[in-house]
Amino acid sequence: MAKEYVVVGRFHNVDDTAKAIRLVRGQNREDFNLYTPFPNHELEDVAFEGKKRSPVRRWTLLGGMTGCTGAFLMTIWMSMDYPLRTSAKTVISIPAFVIIAFECTILLGALFTLVGMLHHSRVPNIFASPGFRGNFTKDEFGLAVRVEKNEADKLKAELEKCGAAQVEVQYVR
Amino acid sequence: MASWFPQISYTKVDDDLLEILEPPGVGWFLLLATAIGCVVLGGYAWSIQVREGIGHAGITHPIMWGVYITDFVFWVGIAHSGTLISAVLFLFRAKWRMPIYRIAEAMTVFAVLTAGLFPIIHLGRPWNFYWLLPYPNQRYLWVNFRSPLLWDVFAVSTYLTVSTVFFIIGLIPDIAAARDRATGIRKFLYRITSLGWTGSHKQWRHYVAAYGFFAALATPLVLSVHSVVSWDFAMSNVPGWHTTIFPPYFVAGAIFSGLAMVITITIPMRKAFNLQNYLTIWHYEKMCQLILFTSGIVTYAYATEFFIAWYSNNPFERYQFWFRPFGDFNVAFWGMVFCNCVAPLSLWFKRLRTNIVWLFIVSIIINIGMWLERFNIIFNSLAREFTPDAWGNYNFSWVETAITIGSFGWFFMFILVFIKVFPAMALTEIKEIMVPPRRDPASAHH
């Protein structure tokens, strides 16, 4: 059966939110979104327990290496393409090229990090996120869990028991 | 909760800080009109220079780097404290950066945008500025990668790109917060610029990782950019320029002037938008500590230059450092010493550094001093190079003065528009350092 419903719990404190996440994960429900107005390490630890770190770091490494290699290749190739000796320096002046390579390492490292972050965060996103409420960027913590129709009422009661200030069931088909 | 503001709710933080985005008053429009007026004046002056030639600037032999390069170095310097506050202090987990880092980052981006104009304005044929990019120009000659001027192109453009990315990424969650409270056209604008941000745990996970990497990448970058700018001078053999102390001296000077500019901008902002709970005296004292530290480094560097000129026994260096305090431009030299070395000493006194009016005055004095520092480096050294037959003087023109005034208008125009369009204080990070709400409030810990 398709998971056509989202149960949205709105919480006013970290302890109740953490308790609700543990409950949901304890039921092997991984199709959930936790919304917070700011990054909270305590809640992140509960939500990501047993999961791998963000892969964004690989993008940074790839970008940095690409920038560094590309800059050396560019400077060396362009200097060789039209060899012109200036100020008694060698045509391939590695110390001078290191500065260009450094800047390109940082530049592409940052741009790749940006691409990696956007890609993994799924932004830009023009579609409304089911379960998201405006107050989740303000002062509330939200937990939105996708469930099948016959599970919605049970989960709603459980989230209320965890201390949710309000629980809504939303049809998202 | 950090010790610097009272326990308030997240809602109150949003209400206070998003109020800055409310429709502006007459004062804001007057300031914006003044800024745009300065830009128009500068643009008019530049149009004359473009139409009739670079002779309209005061640039003449032997001072071929005049006011424009002074302005360039000044604005690149102003750009530095933004990344220092946003990246370096982020890595050190300095909580006092939170309320000021957004405006400092904005300052960085707009100051680099301003600085980037000057190498182009300085060109006799500005429409050929793209010859600095690595492409095979006439006769298939590539650019000279051994030239510090080309390093500058790479350093400043990288700095602009990375600072802009860092700035925009930091803004996204706050724009989302503004979106969820806005109505009408503003909601539409914020819906687009927030990129659909919801603050889900999956988004935060990658955001926090990326933000750390941006900070780690921006930190060496901020040190490198002004080092590269200093090499524009230090790589030559001109007396007064050819010295290894330039990179650290330029970096310290840049942070010094940038912090002063943060104070210059935030003090009126604090008053206009009633931000006394967020921008407290404690924050200004922290900035004063850094200003005192960097002022000390700059003063030490000035003294070292004189010592090395004497100790090297090089007659050209010795003459150069005699010419600075006693030559044709000695007013600029003593003005620099007063503004950068003497005036900041007043901040050692708690009564003065906690006096907002005095702090505002000192911040302006420091900015004047740092412009004079670049003036001294460029004008004195070029006016008195090696052989007396190549010595010369300078005639200032109204065109370069108008363009300099225009650059200030250009910078403040962006700042004024920014604080009314996007959140100028970081809501998210201020909330992050507050003690989160607990089921049992007594269990809340610092």
Task: Determine, yes or no, domain membership for A126.
Answer: no
**Chain B residues closer than 8 Å to A93 by CB:** 145-146
Residues A93 and A45 in one domain: no
Task: Determine, yes or no, domain membership for A39.
Answer: yes
Identify the pLDDT of residue B5: 58
Whether A99 sits inside 8 A of B228 (CB atoms) is yes
Which of helix, strand or coil describes residue A28?
coil
Indicate the helix (H) or strand (E) that contains B314: none
Q: Which of B90, B133, B145 to mutate to test the interface with A (most CBs of A within 10 A)?
A: B145
Instruction: Evaluate whether A165 touches A10 at the Cβ level (below 8 Å).
Output: yes
pLDDT in tens, A122-154: 989 888 788 899 999 999 999 999 999 889 999
Residues A33 and A61 in one domain: no
State the virtual CA torsion across B241, B245, B248, B252 in degrees, nearest 10. Answer: -70
Calpha distance A9→A17 (Å, rounded) = 9
Residue of A nearest to B194 (CA): A124
Residues A117 and A137 in one domain: no
Task: Determine, yes or no, domain membership for B232.
Answer: yes
Task: Determine, yes or no, domain membership for B204.
Answer: yes
Task: Determine, yes or no, domain membership for B3.
Answer: no
Identify the pLDDT of residue B265: 95
Which of helix, strand or coil describes residue B52?
helix
Looking at the 3D structure of chain A, how many domains does it have? 2
Q: The tokens 């010094």 sit on which residue?
A: B256
Q: The tokens 């001296």 sit on which residue?
A: B249
Whether B165 sits inside 8 A of A114 (CB atoms) is yes
Whether A113 sits inside 8 A of B201 (CB atoms) is no
pLDDT-derived band at B89, boundaries 50, 70, 90: confident
Task: Determine, yes or no, domain membership for A127.
Answer: no
Interface residue B11 vs chain A (CB under 8 A):
yes
Largest CA distance in chain B: 82
For B32, phi then psi, to 5°, come to: -65, -40
pLDDT in tens, B27-52: 999 999 999 999 999 999 999 999 99
Nearest residue to A159 (alpha-carbon basis) of A171, A144, A140: A144
Q: Please give the average per-residue pLDDT across B291-309, as a whole number.
A: 96
| Beta-strand pair A5-11/A141-147 | antiparallel
CB contact residues (below 8 A), chain B span 110-139, against chain A = 134, 136
pLDDT in tens, A69-105: 999 999 999 999 888 888 788 999 999 999 999 999 9
How many residues would you count in chain A? Answer: 173
Identify the pLDDT of residue B3: 53
Nearest residue to B414 (alpha-carbon basis) of B69, B213, B15, B113: B113
pLDDT-derived band at B444, boundaries 50, 70, 90: low
Nearest residue to B235 (alpha-carbon basis) of B313, B152, B128, B333: B152
Instruction: State yes or no: pLDDT of B278 exceeds 60.
Output: yes
Instruction: State yes or no: pLDDT of B446 exceeds 60.
Output: no
Q: What domain range includes position B95? A: 10-436
Calpha distance B377→B374 (Å, rounded) = 5
Task: Determine, yes or no, domain membership for B79.
Answer: yes
pLDDT in tens, B106-156: 999 999 999 999 999 999 899 988 888 888 766 678 888 999 999 999 999
Burial code (b: 16+ CB inside 10 Å, e: under 16) for B244-264 equals eebbbbbbbbbbbbbbbbbbb
Instruction: Evaluate whether B76 touches B230 at the Cβ level (below 8 Å).
Output: no
Task: For the beta carbon of residue B12, count every other beta carbon within 10 angstroms.
Answer: 13
Q: What domain range includes position A22? A: 5-52+132-171
Cis peptide bond prior to B126, omega within 30° of 0 = no
Instruction: State yes or no: pLDDT of B18 exceeds 60.
Output: yes
> How high is the ipTM of this complex?
0.93
Record the pTM.
Answer: 0.92
Residues A43 and A68 in one domain: no
Task: Determine, yes or no, domain membership for B2.
Answer: no
Q: The tokens 């182009």 sit on which residue?
A: B120
Q: Please give the average per-residue pLDDT across B60-79, as a whole number.
A: 92
Residues A61 and A102 in one domain: yes
**Chain B residues closer than 8 Å to A89 by CB:** 146
Mean pLDDT taken over chain B: 92
Calpha distance B82→B86 (Å, rounded) = 6
Indicate the residue of B179, B218, B432 with minimum beta-carbon distance to A39: B432
The angle formed by the CA atoms of residues A39, A41 and A42, to the nearest 5 degrees, is 125
Instruction: State yes or no: pLDDT of B323 exceeds 90.
Output: yes
Identify the pLDDT of residue A43: 93
User: Where residue A42 sits, what CATH number does that domain have?
Assistant: 3.30.70
Whether B204 sits inside 8 A of A124 (CB atoms) is no
- Reading the block at residue A81, the tokens are 């393409």
CB contact residues (below 8 A), chain A span 59-98, against chain B = 60, 64, 74-75, 78-79, 81-82, 84, 86-87, 89, 93, 96-97
Residues A108 and A143 in one domain: no
Task: Determine, yes or no, domain membership for B441.
Answer: no
pLDDT-derived band at A1, boundaries 50, 70, 90: low
Instruction: State yes or no: pLDDT of B157 exceeds 90.
Output: yes
pLDDT in tens, B339-374: 999 999 999 999 999 999 999 999 999 999 999 999
Q: Please give the average per-residue pLDDT across B52-68, as a whole number.
A: 91
Calpha distance B409→B399 (Å, rounded) = 15
**Chain B residues closer than 8 Å to A60 by CB:** 213, 217
Task: Determine, yes or no, domain membership for B59.
Answer: yes
Task: Determine, yes or no, domain membership for B172.
Answer: yes
- Reading the block at residue A140, the tokens are 């509330």
User: Where residue B182 sits, what CATH number does that domain have?
Assistant: 1.20.1630.10
Indicate the residue of A14, A48, A74 with minimum beta-carbon distance to B437: A14
**Chain A residues closer than 8 Å to B93 by CB:** none
Q: What percent of chain B has pLDDT over 70?
A: 97
Q: Which of B7, B83, B168, B439 to mutate to test the interface with A (most CBs of A within 10 A)?
A: B439
Nearest residue to B67 (alpha-carbon basis) of B415, B343, B405: B405
Nearest residue to B64 (alpha-carbon basis) of B388, B394, B371, B321: B394
Indicate the residue of A47, A106, A137 with minimum beta-carbon distance to B158: A106
Instruction: State yes or no: pLDDT of A112 exceeds 70.
Output: yes
Residues A33 and A86 in one domain: no
CB contact residues (below 8 A), chain B span 139-168, against chain A = 140-146, 150-151, 154-155, 158, 161-162, 165-166
Which of helix, strand or coil describes residue B419?
helix
pLDDT-derived band at B1, boundaries 50, 70, 90: very low
Residues A66 and A105 in one domain: yes
Residue of B nearest to A67 (CA): B158
Nearest residue to A128 (alpha-carbon basis) of B194, B174, B423: B194
pLDDT in tens, B162-219: 999 999 999 999 999 999 999 999 999 999 999 999 999 999 999 999 999 999 999 9
Task: Determine, yes or no, domain membership for A47.
Answer: yes
Chain B nearest CA to A124, separation (Å): 4
Indicate the helix (H) or strand (E) that contains A34: strand A32-35
Chain B nearest CA to A120, separation (Å): 7
Calpha distance B223→B241 (Å, rounded) = 19
Nearest residue to A129 (alpha-carbon basis) of B437, B194, B165, B429: B194
Residues A65 and A102 in one domain: yes
Looking at the 3D structure of chain B, how many domains does it have? 1
Strand order in the sheet with A166-171: A32-35, A141-147, A5-11, A166-171
Residue of B nearest to A114 (CA): B210
Instruction: State yes or no: pLDDT of B83 exceeds 90.
Output: no
Identify the pLDDT of residue B118: 95
Whether B136 sits inside 8 A of A74 (CB atoms) is no
Q: Please give the average per-residue pLDDT across B308-335, as a whole number.
A: 96
Interface residue B180 vs chain A (CB under 8 A):
yes
pLDDT-derived band at B437, boundaries 50, 70, 90: confident
Q: Which of B143, B165, B168, B213 to mutate to test the interface with A (most CBs of A within 10 A)?
A: B213
